[in-house]
Amino acid sequence: MARKVEVCSYDDEWTKRFEDEAKVLKNIFKDELVAVHHIGSTAVPGLKAKPIIDLMPVIRNIERVDLFNEDMERVGYETLGENGLAGRRYFQKGGEQRSHHVHVYQFGSPEIYRHIAFRDYLSAHPEIKTTYGELKEKLAKQFPYDIESYIAGKNDLVSVIEEKACRWFYEEND
């Protein structure tokens, strides 16, 4: 059976789950690690989300990440390499009951700023956060066992938000 798409109300526990898992990643990547960011919808207070914690470790050298695959597998992660995005290493935990996604990027990657801009923009713009959360909830009900359709249904709004978020982020951080 396919994994169920579940969107629920924001849970304060998500921050603790991020912090706990960030410690695990810090112990694995050690000196190769620059930072670990909480990204995705669970990182935005008040936003409805799939209860999966997205973490973004920033690494000094992306080519060295593969040296840590066995360590990641030992703590329950599935290693998926770039998983369709050049310059990223991706891991997921929890199988069909997914609990964590780890998106690893090399320091300086523009993808880092895109993820942070999206998160911070939603936090700073409650009306857009509400619109996005309601769309996600509607799509989860419409496509409860079809993650591809759920994602496709969000794509247009996500693109608009990302464009605005990046512009806003660079203006705020000039």
The residues spanned by each domain of the chain are: 13-172
pTM: 0.94
- CATH value of 13-172 in 3.30.460.10, 3.40.50.300, 3.90.1150.10, 3.40.50.150: 3.30.460.10
pLDDT digit string (tens) for the chain, length 174 residues: 678 999 999 999 999 999 999 999 999 999 999 999 999 999 999 999 999 999 999 999 999 999 999 999 999 999 999 999 999 999 999 988 899 999 999 999 999 999 999 999 999 999 999 999 999 999 999 999 999 999 999 999 999 999 999 999 988 876
Question: Both tokens of residue 85?
Answer: 């995005």
Task: Supply the pLDDT for residue 19.
Answer: 98
Alpha-carbon gap, residue 63 to 59, rounded angstroms: 9
